[in-house]
Structure 1
Amino acid sequence: MPMKCNGLNQNIVLIGLVLLVTFKMTSQVKERPFILVTADERHQILEKIETQDWANDIFTELKEKADFQVKTFYKNPKTYLEKLPFNWSEGNKNDFPPFYKTYHIENGIQKNLDNATDKEQKYMELLDQYLQIAIDCGMMYYFTQDEKYAYLASSILYSFTKSVQKSEVSDWRGRGGWLFPYDGFREVRVLGYKVPLVYDFTGSYLKKGGKSFDIIKNRKVDFPINELQDVCRTYADISINYGHTGSNHSVLESTSLVYNALAMDDEKERHTLLSYFLTENTENQDAINVMYKKYKKKGDIWPETSQYLNHSTAILAKLLLVVNKYDPSLKLGEKYQNILFALPRLDYFVYPNNEIIRWGDGHRTSHAPYEAYENAYILSKMDGLEELQHKYAPLIKGAMNSGKYNRKSPEALFWYSDDMNQQVAKIDLPRTDRVYHAGIVLQRNLSSTNNPKDGLMCFVGGAHMVHGHAEGMNIELYGEGQVLGADHGRKRYGKDLHENYSRLFAAHNTVIVNGSSQGEGGWVNLGINSVELISMEPNLGEEAVSPFHSYSQTSFEDDKGEKAEATQERTLALIRTSPTTGYYVDVFRSKSKLINQYHDYLYHNISDTLVFKNNDMVFKQTPYRYVANANGKWKQNKEYRNPGWHFFKNVWSSETYDKDVKATFKTEKLRTGSIFMQLHVLGFNNREYTKVKAPTTFESPKPYDSLPTPTLVIRNYGETWKNPFVVVYEPFNENERATIQSVEKLEENGFYKGLKIISHTPTEKLIQYVVTQSKNEIFQDEVLGIYFKGTFAIISLKENKSLHSIYIGNGDKLIYKNETIVTDASKTYYKTY
């Protein structure tokens, strides 16, 4: 018999009576199946298969897969089943052996299976494949009532049930498993949820005396349903009493919890176990009522990185549908509808080339979870939620019509229909948006050409969360169809590169203070403060005052550890100069409380080379510049070699250089042609410039997904508040020239106030005065005839120096020669001349 975790039986006794009023109890025992679909729905599903091409395609593919397995099984059931990963060297003679246990040990330390070896991976995959075959055949039994499918499915389930019980559940660090002793979290996600589905689809066959094949007795036998109940009970218990709360782990384990709860034949026990998904929280598992607190407002998203936030929400939407179908009186769609509203949000955080903005462990590419959209639509129909129906039906139809979505899963046969209206929706991407939990403020300016290469987009962000990075106040920049100024991303968890670079400041486009910026506390000791918004234009949800300009100003406290102690402010502006051209202005201020402070500005750009245009700059190899902590203490998920820049290679540095600098990142190996990012860096005293080869930027376009990343580091000795890091970035391609001809600083009393930028666009010459100040500051230049009280403004002149336009992103008053503007309460303004 399987080893049960302590506490489950006690919990059952304590809350069993209470739960009788939680659920709608019926006098009639439910007949299986009922987890995903019921016997009563079979007729209409068969009609769907008969009359609708998409349904017939799914059924035909499933039948072909299952028929192949059935044919192979019937040739020799014993040989077929003996390929399961049995450990024949253990156990008693004439009895089922245990399975090989799948675990991973590195340097004598027990670890989870993120970095499993090929052999370890093979055991996982083999069990997974057999259970999936059993599910496929179980479904075919449901559709056809042909017992050959149920015989195979139940025989796999019989072998699994007999062998899994030969092991004991590991209590390793409170997160152990049954067959994966050091990764129960993975076991319930890979195997645990499949076992109850096999039983649900074959239950009617077994209850009427259907047989299963026993490889030890080499014959058909009765199925031990009571033992199977113990297996499902144990998998439910692993979710309830193992793992941890407050992250997506509770979500990812919930599928196994819900399905195994519904596998219980005793109705009271079924409801008791199901309550751990609905209402009963433990030290190791959040119920949906707690998980829902992440979705306080309509449109809130799961507060992790991109690949987790939609995945988590999609799982919850599916489970709400499953449980609501089991008991429609619960009205879970109505009760937790903000979960359903959250699903499309990731579609708004995309660049013009449809890649996702990246923060933390997030991936660059993904796709809308259209099946989750359909689940949300079905659930909203069940609970009469018209707003959600009207939201999802056009999105689903639009994806189908464009070829982005085709129904493929068997669940589609059970749940989906063609009753949606024919209206098609298009997502209109706003000029600005925010990812609040990640501290992200993004700006975009799509081109009237509708060509993704002409679009412009950038963001600034940084915050602490599960799967977040210690990244500081980080930016990404897009141009010419690519994310050029890119966040490093991540590859395999647990490796030196991931732990001591990918997660740390040096992998991001940020500023490192005193060589010591780091995370501290929180999730795996990577805690940082959140980037805070000071001001932006356009504000979220508001119309932009200018079709060409936008900006954000944010702040950040770099105070983790004891050696940075810095306050920072970043102004990032997006300025379009024609339908095909534009540039970014980045102004980064940083000051530390500590003496002998220094600040390093980092910018990574996917490219082949970084070339400086200043002929009087002399670079020398400085191989030891960033290696001070290369052999520092590292304890996985706890202590790191901050700030991670010891991974920089081929390090060349200049002497102190105080002039303006012009440099270009050249990206010349793209299939679509060469593109460039030109930098104009304002010069100040006490600056040194370094060019390095940083590690590969993951998920870059080929071949840059396997090449080092050229990176610029600018070091300033002393504070950089009054004279900040100021860089103008302009992307362009091989068929065009860079439009910016010159960049000069605007100063007052020797301190930076803004820039004068002269551009030759494809249609005109522009002279632009870009004033970038901290909040409520004043800039006055009598020679230029400029007075400005505020944060951000652009005065654009034509070639003859007459006014072209005035833009105020945030300010109270601007005077340019004879033109005086006092803003209204919005503090914004735009006018063309």
Structure 2
Amino acid sequence: MKRTLMAAGLLIFPLLVATAFSATARPMIWVTADDRPEILVKIETQPWARTVFAAMKDRVAESVAAHTRDPDAFLRGLPFVPATVAGQHPTFALIGGNMASTPSGRRNHSLQRFLHIGTDCAVLFYLTGEESYARCAADILSTATRALARMPRSDATTQGGIVYPGDVLYEARAVGAQLPIIYDFLHPWLLRGPKVHDVVSRAPAAFDFAVAQSVFRAYARLIIEHGQTGSNHPVLEMPCLALNALAIDDPTERADLLSYLTVKDSPNQDSLQKVMRIFRESGGVWPESFQYSVGVSSRVTYLTALLRRQSPPAIGLDGYAAFPLSLMRLTDFRFPNGENIRIGDGPRRSSNPWDAIEVAYALALREGDTATQQTMGALLNLGISQGSYDRAKPHSYTGGAESYQGPLQLLWFAPTITGKMTAPAPRTTDELPFAGVVLQRNFSPTGDPAHALMAAVSGASYVHSHASGMALELYGAGHVLGAAAGKGTYTTDEHENHRRLFAAYNGVIVNGSSRSGGGWVSLGIDTVKPVSTEPAFGAKPVSPNHSFTVTRFSDLSAGNTNADQQRLVGLVRTSATTGYYVDVFRSRTTQAEQFHDYLYHNLGESLALSAAGQPLALAATPERFRPAAGTSWSRNRTFLFPGWHVFKSARTSAPFAGDVAAEFSVAKLKPAPTAMRVFIPGAEGREYSSALSLETKEAPSPYDKAPTPVLVVRQRGEAWGRPFAAIYEPSTGAASVRSVTALNSNGRFSGFKVVSQIAGRTLTQLVLVSATADGEFADPAIGVTFRGRYAVITLDQNGTCSALYFGEGSKLTYDGLTLASVSGANTAASAEISANTATLTASTAAELTLPGGKRIRSLTPKP
């Protein structure tokens, strides 16, 4: 019986020994000769495979015909630089600079397309035996290796390549990973001694194995000796190292080079063993923004499948499943409409990495791991049934910084997929610790994503992170309405001085100068950490209508003074189609003079501020949002903190202590006009501003190209005892919240009274909040006492209590009702009350006492 691969322990990478490959025949890298019959049966019996096979032949048909007519003319389409000495082989044109800051049109090298054609032709020869494919591929291989063998690598910088002298990372993917595959498939045929075309003599010549070996060796050593560590870069370069090492014919040298892939770290290249350790320590997800995290998991899955195929396997079995399983884990951090939460440079929208899931499925099938096979198979079948994945869609040639692996569709993908088609149920609360993500979601009984609620708080320092502070994104009406600005073009002023700084996010800026320091490209900040959540991560909620999270963060403001910050976010569902968010943000420093700015961006055409039903008087303040004193921009080193100098059309109120309402109109949103209304109880020392920020990247049209309205509330003095407190209600059509007023206890803000109109009936809710887990609230006038951090009392239109909830607390009383934990310690509990009966659910034992003295013991939520 083959043992399971689901255990996510540390991968054990045994050192390769010289004898491991001594008797290996080629091809051996992607497949062997023994694999061919099964692949041919797959092509013959599976319609999707026949389609892919036909497309591969069509892709190269014109090139093979051109090569057959005139090999010399065909090969001179390569980007040659003529030799300066007669009789020498030409080299290739260089593309200089770092490709990250180079326009895409200037990155591409025609050599890359020739290598793609050569790869397809080599695979087609393996499958069909037709020598026209072999001759075309062999001429590309011979010409490319002879040209590259004459080109020294650039050692002026540790980032130097060969064709790309300023960017080994780019070259490893665009060029370096292709030639070994062509060589491996053609090797048995080349050993028979066929001639290849020589562009110098314009005549047939013998294939030079020594030259090819020198090129493979050069690329393997390039990856080991150049590049940078401590990010995803080593993993992006690993396929180049793996394939070139496997193309080396000497088994001793091959084993030595592969050891740098598996267990040996060099100053410029991390091993898979180190990658696995980082992955494990980060909770089973690679610690970078999502597109890079997915890229790492996908490539390590590919490398695992590749190395397990060698004879004997070049890596151990234990722990590999953690990487493909992480591809599923990342889907847990999507909003109900399928869009990603915004962390760092990550995209808002991304599809599932179907190729990596296919590879993971095939690997599990090959290894006898039924658990992973079923998991990946279910995901693939779900994608097929939903129309988001088509196995018969042929791969096209890659461009830019990607190696070409298109033939693996035929060579590795399983003939058929088994696995139950079920969508995984997302957790109510969840966390992604490396990114400081703490989220909560509430799906509607209607099942419509437009009726769902979700809030995500985040902030941390990692590779490709942003200096975001403790940022919030809010979802409503089927869209991410309260959104972060999104990634711009790397190295640009807009990206470095706004989009990845505090003012691009929904958080609090301290003293006008919140800033980062150290960390990745000087964007180091504290990590947002959870303080309390209900439900606990992965647990079932005690109520279908409530959840909450509390997070903390330390902000570095001017003068190296840390500001303590805490954010409580609650979700309250009031009907199947309505609900609102609670946001209470506390911030303070030890400075005598301090001020705090609360920022909230929302998609829309306009932002209107009002007080007591009348527009709030605002005056133009063009100089209000300036870079902090002493800040300057030096690319990837120092920035124009806090990033709000891009705000335009700023208008600000005079100091105002009253309640304020804000409305973001999102009239052009499809399928229906939408609004986000914000209710802000007043406090002394407040000033309110409206402004326009840059467009929100990847927002629904037309908001991806329109300025984004932003609300800024300035609090003079501390904002801890006088926190920024707001109720957010997204709505289409008529809104439900009618009024919001503050609740106070002992002279301090302690919550909200929220009055809603739901289906013609009045619903009143008392939302109680505290900065601590043992907070005390008492208001004899309304008959409420509470000990704890967060609670909601719901009253029907007659003023009768219909529900009691606390997310963290020990005792809540209202109008003769008492909800309390049995032990006296904090717990989470929810009571639905009707007449003289009730249903009580709690995370630990709790008791509800009704006015007549009847007591009801709690049920525990079903797992």
**Alignment TM-score > 0.5, same fold:** yes
Contact 2:504 2:643 in 1 (8 A): yes
Superposition map of 1:509-658 within 5 A: 509-559=506-556, 562-614=559-611, 615=614, 617-629=616-628, 632-658=631-657
SS of aligned partner of 1:48: helix
Quote the offset at 1:228 in angstroms.
1.4
Quote the offset at 1:741 in angstroms.
0.3
Superposition map of 1:329-728 within 5 A: 329-330=313-314, 332-407=316-391, 408=394, 409-418=406-415, 420-421=417-418, 423-559=420-556, 562-614=559-611, 615=614, 617-629=616-628, 632-728=631-727
Q: Is 1:78 matched with 2:42?
A: no
Among 743, 747, 760, the alignment partner of 2:744 is 747
Shift in CA distance, 533/228, structure 1 to aligned 2, threshold 3 Å: same
Quote the offset at 1:490 in angstroms.
0.3
2:54 counterpart residue number:
60
Q: Is 1:36 matched with 2:20?
A: no
Instruction: State how far apart, in whole Å, the 1-side matches of 2:466 and 2:17 are.
Output: 42
Among 78, 88, 97, the alignment partner of 1:95 is 88
Superposition map of 1:74-473 within 5 A: 74-88=68-82, 91-104=84-97, 112-117=98-103, 120-121=106-107, 124-296=108-280, 300-330=284-314, 332-407=316-391, 408=394, 409-418=406-415, 420-421=417-418, 423-473=420-470
Shift in CA distance, 572/443, structure 1 to aligned 2, threshold 3 Å: same
Contact 1:86 1:97 in 2 (8 A): yes
Q: List runs of 5+ in structure 2 lacking aligned partners.
A: 1-12, 395-405, 834-863
Shift in CA distance, 391/200, structure 1 to aligned 2, threshold 3 Å: same
Quote the offset at 1:819 in angstroms.
1.2
Deviates further, 637-646 or 203-212: 203-212
Contact 1:694 1:711 in 2 (8 A): yes
Contact 2:282 2:433 in 1 (8 A): no
How many aligned residue pairs are there? 803
Deviates further, 640-649 or 366-375: 366-375
Quote the offset at 1:115 in angstroms.
2.5
Quote the offset at 1:28 in angstroms.
5.6
Contact 1:114 1:492 in 2 (8 A): no
Shift in CA distance, 298/406, structure 1 to aligned 2, threshold 3 Å: farther
Instruction: State how far apart, in whole Å, the 2-side matches of 1:247 and 1:134 are.
Output: 32
Shift in CA distance, 419/58, structure 1 to aligned 2, threshold 3 Å: closer
Contact 1:352 1:455 in 2 (8 A): yes
Instruction: State how far apart, in whole Å, the 2-side matches of 1:38 and 1:177 are.
Output: 31
Instruction: State how far apart, in whole Å, the 1-side matches of 2:312 and 2:826 are.
Output: 48
Q: Deviations over 1:405-442 (max 9, x none)?
A: 22244212112224543532321112111111111111
Quote the offset at 1:97 in angstroms.
2.8
1:827 counterpart residue number:
827
Instruction: State how far apart, in whole Å, the 2-side matches of 1:192 and 1:559 are.
Output: 43
Among 771, 777, 780, the alignment partner of 1:779 is 777
2:7 counterpart residue number:
none
Quote the offset at 1:564 in angstroms.
4.8
SS of aligned partner of 1:37: coil
Instruction: State how far apart, in whole Å, the 1-side matches of 2:329 and 2:737 are.
Output: 36
Q: List runs of 5+ in structure 1 lacking aligned partners.
A: 1-18, 105-111
Shift in CA distance, 781/21, structure 1 to aligned 2, threshold 3 Å: closer
Q: Deviations over 1:740-788 (max 9, x none)?
A: 0000000123310000000012263210000111122111111111111
Letter in 1 for 2:554: E
SS of aligned partner of 1:562: helix
Letter in 1 for 2:697: F
Instruction: State how far apart, in whole Å, the 2-side matches of 1:587 and 1:20 are.
Output: 53
SS of aligned partner of 1:565: strand
Instruction: State how far apart, in whole Å, the 2-side matches of 1:452 and 1:563 are.
Output: 44
Deviates further, 177-186 or 612-621: 612-621
SS of aligned partner of 1:492: coil
Letter in 2 for 1:502: R
Q: Deviations over 1:357-406 (max 9, x none)?
A: 11100001112222222222232333333332232222222222333222
Cα RMSD between the aligned structures? 2.0
State the identity %: 37
Superposition map of 1:759-798 within 5 A: 759-762=756-759, 764-775=761-772, 776-798=774-796
Q: TM-score, normalised by structure 1?
A: 0.93
Instruction: State how far apart, in whole Å, the 1-side matches of 2:38 and 2:627 are.
Output: 69
Contact 1:806 1:830 in 2 (8 A): yes
Instruction: State how far apart, in whole Å, the 2-side matches of 1:118 and 1:748 are.
Output: 60
Instruction: State how far apart, in whole Å, the 2-side matches of 1:117 and 1:533 are.
Output: 41
Q: Deviations over 1:239-264 (max 9, x none)?
A: 11112222111111111111111110
Letter in 1 for 2:100: D
Letter in 1 for 2:90: P
Contact 1:506 1:602 in 2 (8 A): yes
Quote the offset at 1:85 in angstroms.
1.8
Instruction: State how far apart, in whole Å, the 1-side matches of 2:305 and 2:547 are.
Output: 42
Letter in 2 for 1:602: L
Q: Deviations over 1:619-671 (max 9, x none)?
A: 11111111245994211111111111111111111111111111111112234
Shift in CA distance, 103/609, structure 1 to aligned 2, threshold 3 Å: same
Contact 1:152 1:212 in 2 (8 A): no
Q: Deviations over 1:487-530 (max 9, x none)?
A: 11102111111111111111111111011111111111111111
Contact 1:360 1:467 in 2 (8 A): yes
Contact 1:519 1:561 in 2 (8 A): no
Contact 1:321 1:333 in 2 (8 A): no
Q: Deviations over 1:62-120 (max 9, x none)?
A: 011111211122333222222222234x633342333221123xxxxxxx111213662
Shift in CA distance, 115/631, structure 1 to aligned 2, threshold 3 Å: farther
Instruction: State how far apart, in whole Å, the 1-side matches of 2:80 and 2:368 are.
Output: 50
Instruction: State how far apart, in whole Å, the 1-side matches of 2:104 and 2:441 are.
Output: 43
Contact 1:520 1:560 in 2 (8 A): no
SS of aligned partner of 1:729: strand
Instruction: State how far apart, in whole Å, the 2-side matches of 1:457 and 1:21 are.
Output: 48
2:40 counterpart residue number:
46
Quote the offset at 1:210 in angstroms.
2.5
SS of aligned partner of 1:332: coil
Deviates further, 403-412 or 689-698: 403-412
Quote the offset at 1:613 in angstroms.
2.9
Q: Deviations over 1:150-172 (max 9, x none)?
A: 21112222222222233321124
Instruction: State how far apart, in whole Å, the 2-side matches of 1:519 and 1:271 are.
Output: 44
Instruction: State how far apart, in whole Å, the 1-side matches of 2:558 and 2:182 are.
Output: 52
Q: TM-score, normalised by structure 2?
A: 0.90
Instruction: State how far apart, in whole Å, the 2-side matches of 1:277 and 1:222 are.
Output: 33
Instruction: State how far apart, in whole Å, the 2-side matches of 1:175 and 1:132 are.
Output: 25
Instruction: State how far apart, in whole Å, the 1-side matches of 2:549 and 2:482 are.
Output: 17
Contact 1:73 1:152 in 2 (8 A): yes
Instruction: State how far apart, in whole Å, the 1-side matches of 2:162 and 2:21 are.
Output: 36
